[in-house]
Structure 1
Amino acid sequence: MTRPLLEEIGEILRLGGLVRTVRQAARAVGVDERKIVKTLVVKCGDEYRAYILRGIKRLDLEALGCRLATPEEVQSVTGYQIGGVPPVLAIPVFIDEELLGEDYVYGGGGDEYSLLRFKPRDLVERGFARPVKL
C-alpha cells in the first residue's frame, strides 16, 4: 500500500508559529490538550514502528521492548523530523484504541508549523494503523 498524501487523511492546518508542545498545539487550534496526539517512532529489535497516542500520555517502552528512535533514525525511516511526524507512515503504525472514540484529533502535520486534523477511526478503517491498548 502506498502512503497517501496527508490531505487525503485530514485537514492540514498551517499555524502562525512553531508548535513543539502539546500545550502550544492545543492553544494554537483552541482545543483541549486531550485532542492533541503524538506519533512516536520507536525501534523494536530490527523493526521501526510508530505509535499514535494522546500527547499527554506516556508510552511504556519497557513493556513494548522498544526504545525511542533517535532524531536521525526518525528522519531516515519516515522522511519527517521529530515534532512534525504525521500519523500515516511507511512503517507499521499502531494507534491507541482509546482514540477511536474521538471524532477528530490533531497530530503532526509534516513539520513543526503544521497540524493534521483527522479522524482516528479512518486510519484503522483504511488500513493505515492497527488499534492497540496502550
Structure 2
Amino acid sequence: MRLEEFGEVIRLQTPVRTVREAAQAIGVSEDKIVKTIVVYCNGEFRAYVIRGTKRLNTKLLGCRLATPDEVFTATGYSVGGVPPVLNIPVYIDRELLREDYVYGGGGDEYSLLKFKPIELVKRGFVTPIEL
C-alpha cells in the first residue's frame, strides 16, 4: 500500500515526535492532529486512531500498549510515524468522522498524512468506534 492512495503525504524538514511538534510544523491546531496507537489485545495487535489531544484507556479495552519493537513488527512502521492504514485491524474514534480532514502519521517522523477520516471508513480500512 502506498500512503498517497489515502491522502496527501506532507514531507517535513525537521522530525516531529509529538502532537504539538506536528501541529506547529504545519500550522494547525493540535485538534487536527491524530495519533495511531498500536495495542495488544487477546492475542492480536490492533490500532486505534484518536485525536492527538486525547488519551486511550487501554485498561478499559483490556489491552496493553505494544512495545516499540512490537509496533514495528506488527505494522512495519516505527512509533511516531504509524499511519492510520495498516494490515492489522484499525479502529477510529467516531468523533473524528465529523472532521473534513486530519493529519496523522505519514510513515516516518519526517512525514504526515493529511486524510479524510470518513473516506477511510467508506473504503473499509478503518472501523468507527466510540472511545
Same fold (TM over 0.5): yes
Candidates 8, 30, 35, aligned match of 1:33: 30
Deviation at 1:45, TM superposition (A): 1.8
For residue 87 of structure 1, what is the amino acid of its counterpart? P
TM-score by length of 2: 0.99
**Distance in 2 between the 1:24 and 1:77 partners?**
25
Alignment of 1:100-119 (within 5 A): 100-119=97-116
Per the alignment, residue 42 of structure 1 pairs with: 39
For residue 86 of structure 1, what is the amino acid of its counterpart? P
Per the alignment, residue 19 of structure 1 pairs with: 16
Q: Which runs of 5+ in 1 are unaligned?
A: none
Q: Which runs of 5+ in 2 are unaligned?
A: none
**Distance in 1 between the 2:105 and 2:122 partners?**
20
**Distance in 2 between the 1:28 and 1:100 partners?**
24
Cα deviations across residues 64-98 of structure 1 (Å, max 9, x unaligned)?
00000000000001000000000000000000000
**Distance in 1 between the 2:29 and 2:64 partners?**
29
Alignment of 1:74-85 (within 5 A): 74-85=71-82
For residue 35 of structure 1, what is the amino acid of its counterpart? K
TM-score by length of 1: 0.97
